[in-house]
Structure formats: C-alpha cells, structure tokens
Structure 1
Amino acid sequence: MRTVIVGNGMAGSRLVGELRSRDRRMPITVFGAEKARPYNRVMLSNVLAGASAPGDIHLTDPGWYADNDVDARLGLPITRIDRRERTVTSADGDVTPYDALVLATGSTPVVPPLPGLDAEGVVVFRTLEDCRAIVRHAESARSAVVVGGGLLGLEAARGLAGRGVPVTVVHRAGHLMDRQLDPEAGGVLRRTLHDLGVRTLLNARLSAARAEVGRVSGVELDDGTVLAADLVVLACGVRPETGLATASGLTVDRGVLVDDRLRSVDDPGVHAIGECAQHQGTVYGLVAPAWEQARVVADVLTGRTARYRGSRLVTRLKATGIELAAMGETGLGDDEAEVVRFTDPTRGTYKKIVIRDGLLVGAILLGETGTAGLLTQLYDRAEPLPADRLHLLFDGLGTGTPVDTPVRIPDTATVCRCNNVTKGRIRASWEAGARDVPGVAAETRATTGCGGCRDTVVGILEWLDRQDPGPHHEPGAEVSRL
C-alpha cells in the first residue's frame, strides 16, 4: 500500500514512525511544508526562553528517513489532491500516486486583519523559524507586546521576560487562559505573572500596530491606549488548515470530518489526524490526541483493528516559575456540581476539583501540582473518588506519604499522556537497563511530548533505584511491586 502523508509536523512525523515500526516494506512518502526535519512544537517555548537550543527539540535524527527507507520531501507543500486519480501534486509540479492518503496539515495562526501587522518586528509564534525570529528581535528589543493571553501567548511572554525584555500581554477576555481556567484561577495566574515581570491588560483589543520606517514601534488598543513596543508577538489562536481538503471536495466543518477510523466521511482512502481533523464534533489542539490518532491510523493502514474514541485533555503551562495543570470542565460552579477549592493568592496557589455523580469531571492546579498525576488518573478512568476530598488537593496532609508518590501510583497508571506510557512500562525499561531519563525516553518516548511528566518519571526512577537490592542485581530481575 503506497501511503502518502501530507504534513510532517508532530502528527505526520509520528505517523511515519508508527507505520514503519509496524511494516518495514510499506512505501511511505511524506511531504512537509517546512524545510526543517520534524521538531517538537510544544517545546518551542523552551527555545524562546533559552532553556533549549533549536537542535534539542528535533524528533528524528538527520539520517532517520533515509535509514528507514522513507521518501521525505521537506520544504515541499502539496498544492492539489486528485481523489479520483488518487494522486497529489506538490509545489514543484511533481505528481505522486497514493493508495492511502493521510492529511496532517495542522493549523494556521490567526492574524487579525488590522493595520500595521506587516511591519518588521511583528511575528507570529508558531514555527521554529518564528521562534528564531522572536529571539533575534528580542536581543535588541526595549519592550514587547504579546497579543493573546492563552497558553501559547503566556509561554511566549514568560520566555521574553526571562530574557530581560519588559513584556505586556494584551488579552481580549476578562481573565487569562479563559478556555482552561475559571476567573478566580485566571486572577491568581495574573498575579503570579506580575511577580515574574509580565504585565497583563484584560478586556483589551488590538486595533492597529504603529511603525516607524517600516519597523514596529508600538500598538494601539481600541480604547485609544498606545503601548510602546519594538517587538510584537501574535498568539491570537489558530485555525485548522483545511484548504486542500476543501478544494478536493471533502466535507469540512472546523476540521476535516472523520469517523472512528479517522477516515474522511466522504472517502475511505483519505484519513486526517491532528489539528486538521474533527472527530465527533471536536478538533483537538494538543499533542497527546494527535499522537493517539497517529497510532490508530497506523493500525488501520496495516490491517489491525483499531478505533479512535476521543481524548480527554490535560493542559499544562510550560513556563519557568509557574506550575499549572487543568483538565475537564473547570468552569462549573457550586450550583452545577460539587466543587472543592483552595486559594492562596499571595503564594500563587489555586486548586479546584469539580465532581459530578461521584466522579472527577474537572480540575485546576495552579502553583503546586503535586497531585496532578493522581487527578489525571481519576479523570481518565472515571474512577470513584475517596470520601476525603482534601487528599485530592494536597500531598499527604501530614500522613508521611504524598498521594502522588511512585509508591502509590499503580503500574497501570498512565504517566506520560502524550505517548501513553504507563508506570509499568517505565519500570520495565528500568529493569532492562534504562536507568536515567534519556534512557527511558529512548525506550518508551516518555517525556518527549509536552514534558509535563518529567518530574514524575524522575521520581519513579529514583524510587526504583532505592528498591535495587545491590550491585549484583540483574537488570531484568524482578523488583518487589508495591
């Protein structure tokens, strides 16, 4: 089966790897609009902050495609799909036939149609090249404005502040990260950011960017306020990239409509995964669902039985000095569900769990996320909750054992959501000789997605090291299972 993948980002490149791990002979051609080999887009905030170099976030080695007999055409976007002839046409005019076509075209940044946004120094934050441009401008910037107070915008703002650039976030909603947080949590987060050097303006709308000699010099808000800035970062959201799908006659709503096998509802020979796919009314914008979808499509294309049932999302903010995890229906109030809260704004702490019919349906942990693993497990599996709700918010409560320690996590619990890695797999890789995070990552891919599970993986490895009976212990030997 000749498989063509359109898109070489986090979804498309993962599908290539999943297919090749199942079938060494399948002809695979992947087209990527970017010239760079695939990289972890989630870790761009680390590059912006200076915590990682661009070369640290690539997902494949330089020679991987050649070594695995994959025809990778990078920097070569697809311009046309002919579903009747089952071919795709690339920007160089070449026509490539397919038996199975997978669209992994991702999303396009939203750029408001406002005056001045074409000036030098106005940059969207989406690709590795965008990140390099922001870093380059930040080296001489006296002040910066980030437009958008969502997840990506706040990561950009914190990264710039960490480089010593005064930053103001302009956000149109009444509180930060309004899609994931309730107003109270948004208020605590705003205070924390202020303490870290990030100013925020809420209920504020950009009306234009000002420029001098072609270079941005500031922005104007709809109330007439003018903010000086020689760097403006646009993080106004994204929209699924569905132009090719629409032009080829596929049914598109917000994304390409797909069934439980992630096939287009119009053409079983065309699949869609990642941010361009819409499954049961939902377009997922995080890496874990995209990689789960890649696994399902790899199974389907290699003759295995697989269904995609949707994903339950956990959002983590990756910014130095801020710990945040949010999941589920966080906006419900006391009149709609059982809600347990703890707030300590002076210390930047806000915790909330939302319970309905005895099950966890939402949670926010800001400032201290020690029970995030436990809550994620309860949320994922819809397991009954303990009667003492406070144990879900605080580590141990003086019992001597934190509720989220490796001892308490069962082997079946998912530690790395992005790659669906359980504690049991991490234990198995440790027993096989992977005694540090890079070793476990190479064996299981844990920590290579959003990176939010790294501390938990470190804790498990340290705990396993303490269980090692001594220097004569064999790597594959059994370790007592607590």
Structure 2
Amino acid sequence: MTPRRVVIVGYGMAGARLAERIRAHDPEGGRVALTVVGAESRPAYNRVLLSGVLAGTMTAADIALHDPEWAARNRVRLLLGATAVRLDREARSVLLADGASIGYDALVLATGSRPWLPPVEGLADDRGAPAAGVLTLRDLDDCLRIVERARPGAPVAVLGGGVLGVETALGLARRGARVTLVHPAGRLMERHLDRTAGTILARRCRAAGVRTEIGRSAVRHYPGEGVKLEDGAFVPAAATVVTAGVRPEIGLAADAGLATDVGVVVDDRLRTADPRIHAIGDCAQAGRVPPGLLQPAWEQAAVLAGLLTGAGGTARHRAAPAVTRLRAGDVDLTAFGETHLELDSPDAEVLCYADPARGTYAKLALAGERVIGAIVLGLPDVAATLTQLHDTGRPVPGDRPALLLGRALPPAAADPALLPDSAVICRCNAVTKAALVRAARSAGGDLAALVGATRATTGCGDCLPRVRGLVDRLGHDSRNTTEGEGT
C-alpha cells in the first residue's frame, strides 16, 4: 500500500506536536509519508517558554522540542527555512517561495499567528512592518533581538498588559532594563482578571522594578526616543516592545478560497471546506478557542493525528476549558473559567481572599459544589488544587475559606496518587494520571524516562511537582510491595 502523503505547513508547537503524534501512531511511516514545512531555520522549540529566555532563566537549548536529528530518526521530510506562498487545491500541491512544489493527499495548515501592531503613529513603517526601534515577540529570533537591545540600565517600553506583556516586562526588569509597561485598559490582563486581582498584579510588577502606565494609550512612537501617551506624558525608550495581541495567519487559506473568519474555519474533525485540507493551532477557528493557547493546539493535534493515520476512529475535537497561567519572576498567577462574577452574583457562590501587602489573592466561583472559575495569585498550591477540582468536576470540601488559603486541601491535592485515573495532570500535553502511571511502570519509575514517554512537564512546567509526587508515590508503593514479597 502506498503511504498517504501528509504535508504540514508550519513547524511551530502545533505542527511539531502533530508530526510527533502521527509518528506515534505510524512509527515506520508505512501509512503516512510525512513532510513538514518550517519557515524558521531551526528545529521546533517551546514558544511558551520564551519568557524564560527573555528573563535569562533559560537558554535556547533549554526550550528545544526537537534535536537536529529528530526528523531523520522519525522518517520525516523536514524543510527548514522554507515558506509556503500558495496552495493549488486542484493539483493538490503547495508552492514554496523557492519555486519548489510539494504534492499532498492531506494538507494541514499550522501557520500560527503574527503579532498585531496597534494603530499608533510611528509604530509601523510604510509596509506595515515594525518601524525602527520597535520589536515584537513571537519567535526565538525576536526574543534574542529584544535581549540584545534591553541591556542593563536601558530604558524599554512594553506596549500591552496581557499575559505576554506582563511576562515580557518582568523578564526585562530581571535583566536590569528600566521597563515601563503601558496598557490602555483600566487594569492588567483585563480579559482574565477582576479589578482587585489586576490591582495586586500591578503592585507586584512595580515591586519587581516595572513602572506601570495603566489606563493610558500610546499615541505616537519616536524611534530611539520613546513613546508619547494620550495625556501628553512621555515614556523614554531606546526600544519599544509591542505585546498587544496576535492575529491568526490565514493568508494561504484565504487566497485558496477557503472559508476564513477570525481564523481558518474548521469543523470538529479539524477540516476546512475542502475535506483534504485541515487546520490546527492559532490559525484555526475551532469553536471559541482564542489564539495563543497551547493546550487546545495539542488537543487538536492528538485528534487530527488519529484521523490522518486511521488510528483515531470517530474522534472529534471538543475544546476543553482553557487555563491562563503567568509564571515570571516570583509572580505566580492562574485564572480560568468565570473570573468576572461579583460577590453578589445570583448565578454562583463567589468567595474572595485578598492580601495586597503580600501580593496574594484568591477568588473562587462555585455552581453548587463544583468549581466554575478561579483567580489565584501568589498561592500556587491553591491554584493547583482548584484547577484539579475544576478539571475532574469533583465537589469542593465544605470548608471553603480554608480551601482558598491552602489549609484544607483535599487528599487528592496533597497526594496525586489519589486522583481519579481520568484526571489531567499535565494540561499542556493532555496527559492523564492513567497515562503517567502506565509510563512510570514501563519506565521503571525514572522521571526523565517518564517525561520522554509522555512529554509531561515540557509545556509550561507547572505540573512538575505533581508528576514528581506521583512518580515518588509509585516508587514508594513498588518498594513496599517488593519488601513485602521478601518477608
């Protein structure tokens, strides 16, 4: 049987993950002849961890997903530094910028997204590209350019106070740059945080050396000098980093006549209007999932890999609730679900705990006994517990205030081995407790081997304590069993 020709356009995290999952189902390449087209000149890496490189706590090698021999080892034709410029749906081929053409039986668009430049005078040149002195943060090259400009003592303006903007500002401040974070909304991360959480987060940023200009928009950029704000104030900046959001890369699909809206429109099999063409990740419009989130992209990759190899049966993509995490310096923030409900909400029970002086905040929204939303700042154990309760749908303990303070964690929070098998331990890679237990037993309880088998902890890294705790518990149980057999 001739292998099916599958071409993935895009070698970011979604495309790389899809390639891995396809080869997990078809390691010898007998069913799928796989080609991956990557615009960058280096193997895939973890974009989520770019903030660590920016802060100097990680290197480029630390965030690599694949080594240079990965493609050859896994029978993947990998084209680096290659740009797809046109799709020929009738001929079923992809035209590259160098004139080469690649035929396909199934095509996957994993083209990601591009940074958005707000309409601020002087921010973009005549072609719409960043003007002199303006930097965006989307790939590793961007990150390295920013690091080069943000030397200790250098004034830097960061425009945009979402997750990426806050992480960028804190990372550059850690390097010694004099950072000003400019955000037009009334609070930082307004999509995810209520007013109290936004206020405490801003205080944490200022304590870390980041000056904040909140509720004021930039109106003009002066190259090498700085940014003028709407009230006439001036922010000195030798470099201006724009973190104002992203826009899905849909040009290839739109030019080929495929349906596009915010992204490339796909169904629950990740198919476009052309059944031979699929889309995943930031470029795909799959339900209401916003771009820029890792977990949905990898869930899509798992479903699509099964469908393309025939191993997935009738699998369909169902978007799981997204969890927003911010990990920068000593700031630890988690938010998910219904975060904007007020204390007097008629639709939910809402509890809050705030300690602005210590920079901690916890807000919990319940429907009956179930968690439907939370904001947790500076209390990582509480965040982990509430996330697990939300994921598993388990009822919360009766002592709600103690739960918010981390003083009455349910047994499963203290011991991951007590979680149900279906509990998702690593959200980034959709790794359940059952999958970890199987991998741990086959790997002999070695953490490194477990990570290699499941990729748990290789996303945001937030699950590492739970994975390590589970491995330790399994090793302990195994030792006790062995000792018991020997008596």
TM-score normalised to structure 2 length: 0.91
1:277–1:283 contact (8 Å) kept in structure 2:
no
Aligned pair partner of 2:455 in 430, 445, 451 = 445
Aligned pair partner of 1:63 in 59, 63, 69 = 69
2:152–2:177 contact (8 Å) kept in structure 1:
no
Alignment of 1:76-475 (within 5 A): 76-117=82-123, 118-139=130-151, 142-211=154-223, 216-264=224-272, 266-303=273-310, 304-305=312-313, 306-333=315-342, 334-335=344-345, 336-397=347-408, 403-406=413-416, 408-433=418-443, 435=445, 437-467=447-477, 469=479
1:339–1:355 contact (8 Å) kept in structure 2:
yes
**Alpha-carbon distance in structure 2 between the residues aligned to 1:278 and 1:223:** 38
What amino acid is the match of 2:424?
Answer: T
**Alpha-carbon distance in structure 2 between the residues aligned to 1:218 and 1:351:** 37
After TM superposition, the structure 1 stretch with the greater mean CA deviation from structure 2, 415-424 or 267-276, is 415-424
Aligned pair partner of 1:20 in 17, 20, 23 = 23
Distance 1:473 1:116, change over 3 A: farther
Distance 1:120 1:359, change over 3 A: same
1:287–1:450 contact (8 Å) kept in structure 2:
no
How far is the alpha carbon of 1:378 from its aligned partner?
2.5
How far is the alpha carbon of 1:463 from its aligned partner?
3.9
- The answer for the alignment partner of 2:8 in structure 1 is 5
1:371–1:404 contact (8 Å) kept in structure 2:
no
Distance 1:16 1:473, change over 3 A: farther
**Alpha-carbon distance in structure 2 between the residues aligned to 1:45 and 1:160:** 9
**Alpha-carbon distance in structure 2 between the residues aligned to 1:251 and 1:119:** 32
2:152–2:176 contact (8 Å) kept in structure 1:
no
- 1:336-393 deviations in whole A, cap 9, x for unaligned? 4210111111111110111124432111110112132332232224344343323532
How far is the alpha carbon of 1:232 from its aligned partner?
1.4
**Alpha-carbon distance in structure 1 between the residues aligned to 2:456 and 2:371:** 25
Secondary structure of 2:380's partner?
coil
**Alpha-carbon distance in structure 1 between the residues aligned to 2:324 and 2:411:** 26
1:43–1:57 contact (8 Å) kept in structure 2:
yes
What amino acid is the match of 1:263?
Answer: R
Secondary structure of 1:80's partner?
strand
Task: Calculate percent identity across the aligned residue pairs.
Answer: 46
Distance 1:240 1:454, change over 3 A: same
- 5+ residue gaps, structure 1, are 478-482
**Alpha-carbon distance in structure 1 between the residues aligned to 2:296 and 2:378:** 26
- The answer for the alignment partner of 1:480 in structure 2 is none
How far is the alpha carbon of 1:437 from its aligned partner?
4.1
**Alpha-carbon distance in structure 2 between the residues aligned to 1:267 and 1:346:** 56
How far is the alpha carbon of 1:257 from its aligned partner?
1.1
Secondary structure of 2:220's partner?
strand
How far is the alpha carbon of 1:429 from its aligned partner?
3.3
**Alpha-carbon distance in structure 1 between the residues aligned to 2:8 and 2:285:** 17
After TM superposition, the structure 1 stretch with the greater mean CA deviation from structure 2, 385-394 or 43-52, is 385-394
After TM superposition, the structure 1 stretch with the greater mean CA deviation from structure 2, 226-235 or 354-363, is 354-363
**Alpha-carbon distance in structure 1 between the residues aligned to 2:349 and 2:442:** 44
**Alpha-carbon distance in structure 1 between the residues aligned to 2:49 and 2:450:** 19
Aligned residues: 469
- The answer for the alignment partner of 1:48 in structure 2 is 54
Distance 1:138 1:270, change over 3 A: same
2:446–2:471 contact (8 Å) kept in structure 1:
yes
**Alpha-carbon distance in structure 2 between the residues aligned to 1:162 and 1:78:** 38
What amino acid is the match of 1:258?
Answer: V
TM-score normalised to structure 1 length: 0.92
How far is the alpha carbon of 1:458 from its aligned partner?
2.8
How far is the alpha carbon of 1:400 from its aligned partner?
11
1:330–1:364 contact (8 Å) kept in structure 2:
yes
How far is the alpha carbon of 1:181 from its aligned partner?
0.8
After TM superposition, the structure 1 stretch with the greater mean CA deviation from structure 2, 385-394 or 315-324, is 385-394
**Alpha-carbon distance in structure 2 between the residues aligned to 1:116 and 1:434:** 59
**Alpha-carbon distance in structure 2 between the residues aligned to 1:141 and 1:276:** 38
- 1:189-215 deviations in whole A, cap 9, x for unaligned? 11111111112111111112113xxxx
Secondary structure of 2:386's partner?
helix
**Alpha-carbon distance in structure 2 between the residues aligned to 1:65 and 1:54:** 19
- 1:80-112 deviations in whole A, cap 9, x for unaligned? 011122111011111111110111111110012
Distance 1:368 1:436, change over 3 A: farther
1:146–1:168 contact (8 Å) kept in structure 2:
yes
